[in-house]
Amino acid sequence: MLGLINPGDEVILFAPFYDSYEATLSMAGAKIKCITLRPPDFSVQLDELKSTISENTRAILINTPHNPTGKMFTREELNVIASLCIENDVLVFTNEVYDKLAFEMDHISMASLPGMYEQMVTMNSLGKTFSLTGWKIGWAIAPPHLSWGVRQAHSFLTFATSTPMQHATTATALRAPESYYEELKRDYMSKKAILVEGLKAVGFKVYPSSGTYFVVVDHTPFGLENDIAFCEYLIKEVGVVAIPTSVFYLNPKDGKKLVRFTFCKDEGGDSKECSWKDEREAIEEVRIRNAQASVI
């Protein structure tokens, strides 16, 4: 984005969005516009997108499978977005780092759609698929006239990544057999089922997650005023960490009802983790306290 976006360019994001997008676009001097994806299915409001694109729109940024919601953009959504971008000469950046963690539907890379490769940058990473986020090794795929800008910016940022790690990436990770990805998906689907069942048993309203290792829930049945207050309570009183989704919106109020849990954890946990029974009892205590406070 730093290599292809000029100050004043409009870039459209789909909220909630991974928090680095806003920071990067701000550094590039872009004007950010948002299309809000709303529960329960977080579908794209295509008419709203059409009206948001203007003559100043330089790019659209898409994350699919989507962090934090677990949504996967459908072929219909991607086709409409593609046609709008071709019609209006708009670039597309796609973040597809969770492409191997697609569960209920197949991942569709937008660059595979007719006419799109020439005006988009596809970004991916070693981190999610191989549980090596700390290596910070990823790649961008684009035609030469776009990759030139990416390379210029990269030369003054990262410049170079550890050579042994790059060799490990190409020699081992990217040559993994198909069985690795099948096992990875089975493992995560099992963990997802455990988490979703537990969240529902506690009393959360759980929204569908078709990809990634995240699940978004509505915390409002438990009576706290917003997502931050609820997450702080979980940490202090229950010993469980969730992410308040308000940090993923331009307007934090849009995310105040939602929190994000993750299932990229050991299934058994350790002795410090609470059971779902413990959480249920703790959250019931919150309800009682809130009821008492309202009476007072």
Distances (CA, A) of 234 to 90, 193, 222, 229, 241: 43, 21, 11, 9, 6
Predicted pLDDT of residue 271: 34
pLDDT at position 267: 78
Q: Are residues 82 and 29 in the same domain?
A: yes
Closest CA to 66 of 204, 178, 216, 191: 216
Report the pLDDT value the prediction gives residue 158, as an integer from 0 to 100: 84
Asked whether residue 265 carries a pLDDT value surpassing 80, the answer given is yes
| Domain containing residue 142: CATH number | 3.40.640.10
Identify the domain containing residue 279 by its residue range. Answer: 178-294
Residue 278 pLDDT greater than 80, yes or no: no
Residues 154, 158: Cα–Cα separation, whole Å: 6
CA torsion 277→283→289→293, rounded to 10°?
A: -160
* 204: in domain: yes
What confidence tens digit (pLDDT) does each residue in 102-133 have?
A: 998 999 999 999 999 999 999 999 999 999 88
* Single residue among 128, 157, 174 that ends a domain in this structure: 174
Same domain, yes or no: 192 and 144: no
Choose one of 174, 191, 206: the last residue of a domain: 174
CA 25 from centre of chain: 17
Laid out side by side, the sheet with 243-244 consists of 205-206, 214-218, 258-262, 243-244
> What is the reported pLDDT for 296?
42
Q: For residue range 47-64, what is the model confidence (pLDDT) as tens digits?
A: 999 999 999 999 999 999
Number of domains in the chain: 2
Within a domain: 79: yes
272 vs 101: which has the higher pLDDT: 101
| Residue 243 counted as domain residue | yes
Q: Tell me which residue of 9, 94, 16 sits closest to 53, measured CA to CA.
A: 9
pLDDT digits (tens, 9 = 90+) for 7-31: 999 999 999 999 999 999 999 999 9
